[in-house]
Amino acid sequence: MRAFKRFSRAGFTLVELMIVVAIIGVLAALAIYGVRRYLQSAKTSEAKNTLGAMGRGAVGAYEKESTVQEQLGEGNLSATFQHDLCAGSLNTVPSSAAPPVGKKYQPNGAFGSDWDTGSAISGWKCLKMTVTNPIYFRYGYQGARVDGNGPAGAVPLASEGQTMTAPTQGNFLAFANGDLDGDGTFSAFGLRGQAGTGGSKIIKLATEIQIFDEFE
């Protein structure tokens, strides 16, 4: 009869265990980085979506025909209907000198506060813009109407590129500043638009939102 030699099962070596632990560590680090990046992107999407809404508000205001109120005499004609931009917003939301530092701000819904400011030709009322949810960013709008009426608007905090450049006549700038990590360095988001020329009744928006230091 043939005899069979019995072997016990061999375990993992120390080297193999160290390799497995190293792989798990790398995967965990990548996962943590990915989650952190996702959370940051989720926060900055607020600024991008809000600027997009501000741009749509500017387009809607420009496409609407408007004219001055007049008391016409018999046999006289009224002024010509016109298309124009909203003038700027004198205050930002929130109206403090800096955006929330790593926190959210609940907009004040009281009459004449935060988004409830401006007039028929300027600011948030002209844009028909309002936000009721808590926000991470400080928002503002600069607009230079074709007719020259109304305020130019608040000034962005960041100084990079076009997000700080004041609009010329017939142009607007919607902007957002944030300080998500609380280090005193601001992120900057800007969306520009230009009124049509040569009788055109459309607004040409920039191809994309300009962003500087997105995750600051």
Check if the beta carbon of residue 108 is closer than 8 Å to that of residue 96. no
pLDDT at site 53: 95
- What is the distance between the alpha carbons of residues 44 and 62, in angstroms, rounded to a whole number? 28
pLDDT digits (tens, 9 = 90+) for 33-55: 666 766 777 889 999 999 999 99
**Torsion on CA atoms 163, 165, 171, 172, rounded to nearest 10:** 40
Specify the 3-state DSSP secondary structure of 105.
strand
Between 6 and 154, the more confident residue is 154
Q: Is the pLDDT of residue 66 over 70?
A: no
* 115-127 pLDDT tens trace: 999 998 899 999 9
Confidence of residue 7 (pLDDT cuts 50, 70, 90): low
Q: Write out pLDDT tens, residues 175-211.
A: 999 998 888 888 999 999 998 776 667 888 999 999 9
